[in-house]
Amino acid sequence: MGGEFFLATVFNLGMNLMYTIIALFIGIFALQFIDKKLLKSIDIEQEIKNNNMAVAVFSSTILLFVALIVSFGLKG
């Protein structure tokens, strides 16, 4: 019983870690795509360095929505 429970726990931990890494890479890729292709006149990284809070909130919102979409896609 103890070995099976430990193996199932490690497997679930590995799967959740894999979901997290995949979602992180997709979120970063989506933010870079939006920055380079859709918002050509605005440099998100430079605006964040200039303490533009509106751009920081916008980029975090994009990451949040991408994470939601990816989580539903991977676990659904």
Q: What mean pLDDT is reported for the chain? A: 83
Encode pLDDT of 42-68 as tens digits.
Answer: 888 888 899 999 988 988 888 888 778
Encode pLDDT of 12-33 as tens digits.
Answer: 889 888 888 887 888 788 878 8
pLDDT band at 10 (very low <50, low <70, confident <90, very high): very high
Output b/e per residue, 20-53; b: 16+ Cβ within 10 A: eeebeebbeebbeebbeeeeeeeebeebeeeeee
What's the total number of domains in the chain? 1
pLDDT band at 76 (very low <50, low <70, confident <90, very high): low
pTM for the full predicted model: 0.62
Q: Where in the sequence is the domain holding 63, given as residue range(s)?
A: 2-75
